Chains A and B, each alone.
Chain A
Amino acid sequence: MNLRMKLLVVPCAALSFAGGVALATSPETKAEPLPKHVLPASKDGNLVLGLCDGETSMEVPGVKDGQKLTRAQAITATAQLMDDWRKKNPNANWDDVPGPVLAQATPPAAKKSPPPAPQPNPGAKPAGNDVRQGGVGAQTGASAVPQQQKANLQTGHTYGAYSERDEQVWAASVQETVKEGHRVFHDAEALGGTVGVSCDMCHPDGANTHPETYPKYQVQLGRTALLRDMINWCIENPVRGKPLADGDPKMRAMEAYIYAQRKGVKLEYGKH
């Protein structure tokens, strides 16, 4: 464990979800930076750890910033952070990771109960499939989880605890990016072109862009190229524009559009 690292113990899906929304609502502007958790500095120069809820943090007494935590110290620290989070979110959904012994056990019916005491090592002591109703709401898809359990699915896994609605929201976010890519791909001006040429003029529906063959050795360039290298090649040459930076939202959106046209096509990187 290293200094000022965030412990990835609490619903990280929520965090990436927030990022997705930011992209989805502003596809044409610069991509908004993902939320950042600024940790308070320790007066005594102690190591400060942050939780991935983006709010909770703690000092580790006796460990200076820059020093490494022992495994035992790390377990104690994560338990404390988890405890803090549970106190702040008494009604939140939290699927404790089931121990190996209970992996095959029939899950108990969903029940409402105060959060159990934090387990220093959730894997060591079986915590069961403690899925609660209610809590923070639809975002975490909690209501879908018991149904999934009845369907004899693997449970007790926060990462997978999302609902159909979540999936729809996420798909819409992806689609928004693809749509923006479609726009740029078909618009000479958006591409920064100067000669009235847009990508679709040679690649209707993204045809013959074969993204599934990248990375590959691009003979004409004399090196291995990624799809974005070829997008930029086309932007510079037939389109007569300026190449886009790797992280340029237009580049990202066009990659999304091009890949979206090839759904189901076998990935064959390196193919000529």
Chain B
Amino acid sequence: MLGLSAKDTGFLLFVTFLTLATPILLQPFPETSSLAQFNAGYPDLMQRFAIYGIFAIGFNILFGLTGYLSFGHAAFLGVGSYSVVWMYKLLSFNVLPGLILAIVLSGVFALLIGYVSLRRSGIYFSILTLAFAQMSYNLAYSVFTPLTNGETGLQVYTSDPQILMGEGSTQVPNLFGLVMQDSIKLPVGDWLFTFNVGYYFTAVIAIFVFYISLRIFRSPFGLILRAIKTNRTRLSYAGINTRPYMLAAFVISGMYAGLAGGLLAAMDPLAGAERMQWTASGEVVLMTILGGAGTLMGPVLGAGFIKYFENIFSKINESVLHDWFGALPEPVRDFLIAIVSPFVGDGWQLTLGLLFVLVVVFLPGGIMEGARRIGSIFRRKPAAAEPAKLPETPPAVAGDPAGE
């Protein structure tokens, strides 16, 4: 179905289900429990899961398949955000024209940056992409201030033309009147579920672009990108000109980043140059590696993981810790708080850094490798009971030997 094998179709349906059920799945604790602060099912955060998931899925097409590490993808994120806000200013608060512009414009940017950067490989390629992104960042603050509004950031003013806005038009981001920030709240017993328009809008787009990435992974194009990663020079002696493939992968991943940046502005009608900063480029690298570069689901999980940390761990401050350890005798409590507090609240990045180190050292394949190892523990027993036999149909093609 949809040009996929039965196994992949099942996989896609599973991912679709998880994405659509996210507002329920991420809300496991009742509102009344003290664990409710670990719930992640609120619109803001879920939108970010989906948006950064898109960013990471696209990044993975470049980095995961070809091994070319770009340190400049945040530039496309910024281009996407500015595109959407400009369309708000010129046309109306309908997000659609802006998102289309975001994808097209970031594709053009990626074509230019990729064309130059791909003249080099390895560390030189990474440095070139970083340099381009930092240049974009600086230009946004200097030469391009008429376009970016410099440090204030780009936003919509009442004096803007907004030529498509009529009398009763919605004054907030919407899709043909469907307001992004609207939510339906559904209390079930002690639980409270929030179904947000913006989340579902980003989720449907995320599922669609995940499907595209799945198709790319399974295509001959994907095979050649993998071959580039493992031995690029061999491909040229096999008659393949690797440059167009690399450039295509770079542009596709740039367009994903532009779409993600556009969606950020579709949820919150602002765009600032800090979105282009090198830290934002580094973040998507961390997401991809943490989740498992070159796997389909890994980058999405990595993105969710990091955004969860950023939003949930950062909220655990000393008073929360006092609540947790309140029942303990005072010296024990103070001791525990002294140990734990540097790692939570503002220290969430410390914890994330430690986790990252642990993953890279012990699980170089990221979260997905961890999942696979756990899976193989459970699978070992039945496998031993059956005599080993050769597969009749080649699973390397049916499944996915390099990814997954």
Q: Is chain B a partner of chain A in the same complex?
A: no
Mark B residues whose CB is within 8 Å of A.
none
Task: List residues of A whose CB falls within 8 A of some B CB.
Answer: none
